[in-house]
Amino acid sequence: MFLLSDYDYELSEDQIAQKPASCRDASRLMVLDKNTGSTFHNKFSEICDFISPKDIIVINNTKVIPGRLFGKKETGGKAEILILDFTGGIREQDKTGDFICECLVKTSKPAKQGSLILFEENLTAKVLNDVKDGICLLKFSSSENFEEILLRIGKMPLPPYIKRDKDNNKSIDDKTSYQTVYASYSGAVAAPTAGLHFTRELLEKIKAKGTKTAEITLHVGYGTFLPVRVSDIREHEIHSERYDISFEAAEAINTVRADGGKIIAVGTTCIRTLEYASDHKGRVLSGSGKCDLFIYPGYSFKVVDSIITNFHLPRSTLLMLVSAFAGRERILSAYKEAISQGYRFYSYGDAMFIQ
């Protein structure tokens, strides 16, 4: 269960969702019993049927920044930029849009230290150090607030398996659909996609049932797109991501656990954060930091009782995480069933509830 090849499966391209469901909660829902492997099929809008008033649902309120920018070098060559660490950026002057952060830079020839990259609306970026593996520090300069410019000219950093071009999918507004309805704190380069299924109306329905919710923050990083390149997964180095858990959220979660309710984590980001920020007794601790917990089979969960998640890429750390939670064979069997039943996979795809 530690070989990368143990987490492989076949999926045809036509089952990779290229756009969201017509309504967020209209996506399909597979319910998986982690103890028996039995499955049940439903709609996500019926998620309330599987939760109790004693439970608490934990959601990740990070907000995806439209951090993909297209510009050109001073020499005229094309340049594509992806902002990697928005929350770790440094604002040099409040009166201008000067902002320094780590970025992934894609050009035909490596950009040289000191060179400029030019964008729309008089935004420029100066290369501050040597480009290594396509990554360097950029100093963005403009006459206005940098984040406001990003909202106007930036593109959403969609995963590479979601295809967009100028002629197709014009009706899809990824700046809205690739964002949870409760997104509040900017900093992610990818959406916590399990949360995309929730509507405000569904959250109100959950609240009316008596089930509590708690918001935590984990800013999903670029590492979520990076493949595992080692044959033994135990040798893989997981990326770290910034997180924040308020005192109120930690107390709400701990109170539900003490009262016998279940902790239901929405997405792998919430799972990793809760498990990382807890003591040996499973008590969640408030605070901020960087989470670098890699969960794979053999891990003993301390906090999370049930999870809401999407269907993940083969050979990915996310597939390894859900395999740790429900068992590799049960997960792969459920995926095989989902494929045969025509489920939609990955970020804009359907959901699983593992209990």
Looking at the fold, whether 21 and 95 belong to one and the same domain comes out as no
pLDDT tens digit sequence for 2-48: 999 999 999 999 999 999 999 999 999 999 999 999 999 999 999 99
Asked whether residue 118 falls in the same domain as residue 146, the answer is: yes
Give the start-end residues of each E strand in the chain. 28-32, 39-43, 56-60, 62-64, 68-73, 78-83, 90-91, 99-107, 116-118, 124-127, 135-141, 185-188, 212-218, 241-245, 263-266, 287-291, 306-310, 351-354
| Residue 282 sits in the same domain as residue 220 | yes
Instruction: Indicate whether 92 and 58 sit together in one domain.
Output: no
Number of domains in the chain: 2
Query: Which tokens in the block code for residue 280?
Result: 């040996």
Among 121, 186, 181, smallest CA distance to 156 is for 186
Among residues 104, 120, 153, which one ends one of the domains?
A: 153
Indicate whether 55 belongs to any domain.
yes
Residues 189 and 326 grouped into a single domain: yes
- pLDDT, tens digit, 9 for 90 and up, residues 81-96: 999 988 777 766 555 6
What mean pLDDT is reported for the chain?
93
Q: At which of 153, 187, 216 does a domain end?
A: 153
Residue 328 domain flag: yes
C-alpha dihedral sign at 312, 195, 325, 209: negative
Q: CB of 66 within 8 A of CB of 53?
A: no
Residue 167, pLDDT > 60, answer: no
Say what the pLDDT of residue 16 is: 97
Domain range enclosing 72? 68-153
Q: Give, in order, the Cα–Cα distances in Å from 191 to each of 54, 88, 168, 346.
A: 28, 18, 22, 12
End position of a domain, from candidates 119, 153, 187: 153
Same domain as 327, residue 250: yes
Question: Can you tell me the mean pLDDT for 119-132?
Answer: 92
Work out the percent of the chain whose per-residue pLDDT is above 90.
Answer: 83
Judgement on whether residues 267 and 337 belong to the same structural domain of the protein: yes
Residue 169 inside a domain? The answer is no
Cβ-proximal residues to 325 (8 Å cutoff; 6+ apart), any chain: 34, 271, 295, 301, 304, 307, 354
Same-domain pairing of 308 and 293: yes
39 & 88 share domain? no
In a domain, 87, yes or no: yes
Domain check: are 94 and 193 in the same one?
no
Residues 119 and 183 in one domain: no
Q: Is residue 165 part of a domain?
A: no
**Domain check: are 29 and 140 in the same one?**
no
Q: Is residue 170 one of the residues assigned to a domain? A: no
